[in-house]
Amino acid sequence: SQTIHQWPATLVQPVGSPLSLECTVEGTSNPNLYWYRQAAGRGLQLLFYSVGIGQISSEVPQNLSASRPQDRQFILSSKKLLLSDSGFYLCAWRGLAVRGGELFFGEGSRLTVL
């Protein structure tokens, strides 16, 4: 069966520090991968998506970047965090052969920037 793992689950970082959030999918090949951010009490904002290794599409201009060094690994990074980067970051995957709308989400990484 397929699983998705995100880490760390929680982190507190000072303004100006770097960030690296990791997401790994197991049990599937060549998935579409997504990073979403959710501010407290709000909806999900699509940040990045990827259809293959090294292929990253950015949805909004921001202080963050994403990379896909391996087929099932998706990394969200920042060189210098801002207060506004605080939020709940969710990684998701979707199978290429799937026609419907189902995404499979990880458990999320909660980031607090102080």
Partner 1 sequence: GESVGLHLPTLSVQEGDNSIINCAYSNSASDYFIWYKQESGKGPQFIIDIRSNMDKRQGQRVTVLLNKTVKHLSLQIAATQPGDSAVYFCAEKLKTSYDKVIFGPGTSLSVIP
Write out the residues near partner 1 by the rule CB under 8 A.
32, 34, 36, 39, 41-46, 49, 51, 57, 59-60, 90, 92, 94, 99-108
Q: Is the peptide bond before 8 cis (omega within 30 degrees of 0)?
A: yes
- In the bound state with partner 1, the residue whose beta carbon lies nearer, of 57 and 70, is 57
Cis ω before 69 (30° cut-off from 0): no
Give whichever of 14 and 29 is closer to partner 1, judged by the CB atom. Answer: 29
CB of residue 38 vs partner 1: minimum separation in angstroms? 9
**Is the CB of residue 35 less than 8 Å from the CB of residue 78?**
no
CB of 70 to partner 1, least distance (A): 19
Residue among 43, 53, 49, 52 nearest 92 (CA): 49
